[in-house]
Amino acid sequence: MIQAFGLTSNPRKDLPPAVDDVSFEACAGHVTALLGTPGSGRTTVLRLMLELQQGRGFTYFRGRPLHRIAHPSREVGVLLGDVPGHPARSVRGHLRMLCAAAGVPVRRADEVLETVGLVSLRDERLGTLSRGMDRRLGLACALLADPHTLVLDDPADDLSAREARWLHSTLRAHAAQGGTVLLTMSAPKDAARNADRVVTLERGRIVADQDVTEFARTRLRPRVAVRSPYAPRLAALLAKEARTARRSVEIVREGGNRLCVYGSTCADVGETAFRHGILVHQLADETGDMGPGAGAYPAAEPDDADASGRPLVHLADDTTGKPGTAPRDITGQPVTPPHHTAEADGSRETAAQDLSGQVGSASGADPAPRPRAADTRGLALTPLPPPISVRSAPSPLRPLRYEIRRATGIGTGFLTAAAVLVVSAVTAVLLARVGHTPQARLLAAWPRELPLPPAALGAGLLGALAFGDEFRHPALAADRGTVPRRLGLLTAKLVVAAATALMLAFLTVGCDAEVLYLVYGRELAQVPADWPSLSASWLGLLVGCAWAGVLAAGIFRSTTAGLAAVLAVPVVVVPLVQKALAGSSVRTAAGFPMRLRETLWLQWPFGGERYLTVVARVLVQPVGGALTLSLAALLCAYVLTTLRSRVR
């Protein structure tokens, strides 16, 4: 069950808020529709409910606000707009990545793919999916963690009639199993056909909160759809008989041989056609939008009368543009009838059959209620994936699995690493040809003219992509924001970035040494004598650059900003540290490793004091100190921004 109280968006400058004091309930086992035209505030209401937008008011999902739910994706399945995800990622890979984030078994991805009918497209890329397939994938993402509540923003937008029927059948099946479904709609007829309760929004306020039966009675009106090759003659006869019987009838001509008759019944129209020998191809009850002025009244007002008191019969010919009263929607805007085609007539006929048992008929009888969760009345519901028992994985393990699948699901990281290895090898060969380059810098392919070697820049770029891709192609929108600012996710990204940087460091030195051996012989490929300290410095440099990229991209929400922070360390921070250390009032750190050993008063096993000494020497270097200082500052900034977002 969803309970929304006083949802109000923050106003912008002198403009009124897009949503003002919206309160409603969506019960379990029912499909609730937020109905309104574009600009009425439907999407803003959903974003306020999901805490994706700042404002006033609060929303309870089964008695708890979203920020108090430990795993929001297991309680609420969300579909807002297109499926968020990297366009180069495969459909199955995207779902498996979300399985790791939600802590559900990976087999769940195949189950929801089978439910939404995307098994044959599981290896397709997200960027190649059509609109209908994208909607199916979005619903699969929403159903992945077996949530109790589904929140969807206009899920049937731009879908064909067949795709829309399948979608609403799936949502009805979820409600039939006791779940809660809340979705936005713009067509009143679709809301009457597919929802159990309709909440109507207009200019950010609720104008009606009705059961579908009451909604159909007060905001929709029945009509008779007639298709005949003699439509003009039939329209004239119906108008003549209505004037004679002093009945208020409205006749709208749509697309050649189709008529819509308001205020009459199939029996009356059929008898008129039979008496005058008029051939009829279609005769069915339908439900049309209300006419002007009906939005604020419980029922449509009677038509005008002339000076003699006789009711006027309104004739509207939409094909010729003659004046008349055309059907309008709930806001009073005229509705453009579709062109007359066989497919359109067939879809309208099907719609009439669907509506005949849901929103009443043209004879004025009360509309029948929508089937509830316990009364499906024989509807063919789409089978849902089997329920799952979600087991919480250890806290560091779940985000770590997610990050590994995120990093390996696309080829960006592999291509970046390959480019780094090629550039490093070419740079090492050129430096060896020029000469005057120390052996350590030669193996690292680090010219003195560059602030960082190619491997360090590559590690920083890979680290920046860890958060940059999250903001550019968000995949965790259901978890309280575009990218959840949680320390568990940050730790996973730091661990994966460090492992990637270590692999890149070993591969770079190995490739450079092998290329130098092939080109120039064994002399330039020899290992330096002080290789332990050099290795520690090299590994620390790449890991530090990767971590700086991760933290900066997470703070500034951009891959470019993350890479810029990595470059700022040798260009800006290192000169400042060197200037500070060169001052006369600053004491040197000479003898720090020996004093550290004396302070600890113990011997490390397996010669661990040697590694500790190497680490200490790295930290007292200008580059190591600057990088450590930068990482500390970025980490503090990330923690402060995280706490600030949680306080809000």
Q: How many domains does the chain have?
A: 3
pLDDT value at 593 more than 80: no
pLDDT of residue 340: 34
| Helix, coil or strand: residue 487 | helix
Angle at 553 between CA 548 and CA 555, to 5 degrees: 100
Residue-level pLDDT at 217: 75
Q: Does the structure show a pLDDT above 80 at 358?
A: no
Residue 35 φ then ψ, to 5° = -100, 135
Q: How far apart are CA 125 and CA 129, in angstroms?
A: 7
Write down the residue that tokens 């602030």 correspond to.
Answer: 451
Assess whether pLDDT exceeds 60 at residue 635: yes
Report how far Cα 545 is from the mean position of its chain's Cα atoms: 31
Residue 14, token pair as written in the block: 């002198």
Residues in the chain: 648
Q: Is 39 helix (H, G, I), strand (E, B) or coil?
A: coil
The answer on 137 and 284 residing in a single domain is: no
Model pLDDT, residue 614: 53
Last residue of a domain, one of 355, 389, 422: 355
- Quick one: 486 and 615 in the same domain? yes
Residue 314 clears pLDDT 70, i.e. is over it: no
Q: Between these two residues, 300 and 601, which has the higher pLDDT value? A: 601
Query: In the predicted model, what is the mean pLDDT of residues 403-411?
Result: 92
Q: What is the pLDDT of residues 511-560, one digit of tens each?
A: 999 998 888 888 777 777 778 778 888 888 899 999 999 999 988 888 99
| 363 domain-assigned | no
> How far is Cα of residue 249 from the mean position of the Cα atoms in its chain?
47
Strands (E), 255-377: 258-262, 282-289, 314-317
Contacts of 401 (CB under 8 A, 6+ apart): 100, 393
Q: Does position 572 have pLDDT exceeding 50, yes or no?
A: yes
Structural domain includes residue 390: no
Residue 177 has pLDDT above 70, yes or no: yes
Which one, of 37, 45, 41, lies nearest residue 289 by Cα? 37
Residue 361 has pLDDT above 60, yes or no: no
Least confident of 158-172, 292-306, 373-387, 609-623: 292-306
Q: How far apart are CA 517 and CA 428, in angstroms?
A: 11
What is the mean predicted confidence (pLDDT) over 403-418? 93
Cα atoms found within 13 Å of the Cα of residue 41, Cβ hemisphere only: 25
Give the per-residue pLDDT at 153. Answer: 92
Amino acid at 565: A
Degrees (nearest 5) of the Cα angle 471, 474, 475?
A: 150
Tell me which of 203, 227, 247 is where a domain ends. Answer: 203
| CA–CA distance, 24 with 592 (Å, rounded to integer) | 67
Same domain, 578 and 609: yes
What span, in angstroms and rounded, lies between the C-alpha atoms of 387 and 390? 9
- Domain presence at residue 115: yes
Looking at residues 427-440, what average pLDDT do you find?
A: 86
4 strand-pairing partners: 24, 59
Give the structural domain span for 125.
2-203
Mean pLDDT to the nearest integer, 318-330: 37
385 or 104, greater pLDDT: 104
Together in a domain, 156 and 266: no
pLDDT above 90 (res 576): no
Q: Average pLDDT, stretch 321-350? A: 36
**Following DSSP, what letter does each residue of 462-482 receive, concatenated?**
HHHHHHHHHHHS---TTTTSS
User: Is there a contact between 467 and 546 (Cβ–Cβ < 8 Å)?
Assistant: no
Instruction: Tokens for 169, please give them.
Output: 């059948």
Whether residue 197 sits in one domain with residue 68: yes
Q: What is the value of pTM for the model shown?
A: 0.71
Hey, which residues does 342 pair with through a beta bridge?
none
How far apart are alpha carbons 525 and 514 in whole angstroms?
7
Q: Are 167 and 141 in contact (CB under 8 A)?
A: no
Are 264 and 122 found together in one domain?
Answer: no
Cβ atoms 393, 232 nearer than 8 A:
no
Shared domain for 194 and 230, answered yes or no, is: no
What percentage of residues in the chain have a pLDDT greater than 70?
74
264 shares a domain with 197: no
The pLDDT of residue 573 is 79
Which tens digits make up the pLDDT trace of 1-57?
999 999 999 888 778 889 999 999 999 999 999 999 888 999 999 999 988 888 999
The per-residue pLDDT for range 57-69, each reduced to its tens digit, is 999 999 999 888 8
Q: What does the angle CA 596 – CA 600 – CA 606 come to, to the nearest 5 degrees?
A: 95
pLDDT at 501: 95
Output the pLDDT for position 151.
94
In this prediction, residue 48 carries a pLDDT of 92
Alpha-carbon gap, residue 474 to 140, rounded angstroms = 16
Beta-sheet pairing, 31-35 with 149-152: unpaired
Tell me if 169 is assigned to some domain. yes
The tally of CA atoms less than 13 A away on the side-chain side of residue 263 is 25
Tell whether 513 is covered by a domain: yes
State the CATH number of the domain containing residue 181: 3.40.50.300
pLDDT higher than 50, residue 302: no
CA distances from 232 to 251, 517, 639 (A): 11, 93, 74
Could you tell me if 497 and 623 lie in one domain?
A: yes
Judged against a pLDDT cut of 80, whether residue 478 lies above it is answered with no
Give residue-wise pLDDT tens across range 362-371. Answer: 333 333 333 4
- In the block, tokens 């052996």 appear at 439
- 387, 471 in Cβ contact below 8 A? no
Q: What is the pLDDT of residues 612-629, one digit of tens each?
A: 555 555 554 556 667 777
- Condensed to tens digits (0 to 9), the pLDDT of residues 90-118 reads 999 999 998 888 888 889 999 999 999 89
d(C-alpha 432, C-alpha 436), whole Å = 8
**Whether residue 631 sits in one domain with residue 553:** yes
440 plus 549 within the same structural domain: yes
382 domain-assigned: no
- Domain assignment present for 364: no
Q: Which residue has the higher pLDDT, 425 or 470?
A: 425
Question: By the 8 A CB rule, do 97 and 475 touch?
Answer: yes
- Using the Cα atoms of residue 237, residue 242, residue 244 and residue 245 in order, give the sign of their dihedral: positive
Please give the C-alpha separations between residue 490 and each of 288, 609, 611, in angstroms, as whole numbers. Answer: 54, 31, 27
The pLDDT value recorded for residue 506 is 94
Cα distances (Å, whole numbers) of residue 447 to 242, 405, 443, 509, 537 = 94, 35, 11, 15, 16
Determine the pLDDT at residue 391.
Answer: 52
Q: How many whole angstroms separate alpha carbon 84 and alpha carbon 146?
A: 19
Residue 171 shares a structural domain with residue 234:
no
Q: Is residue 209 part of a domain?
A: no
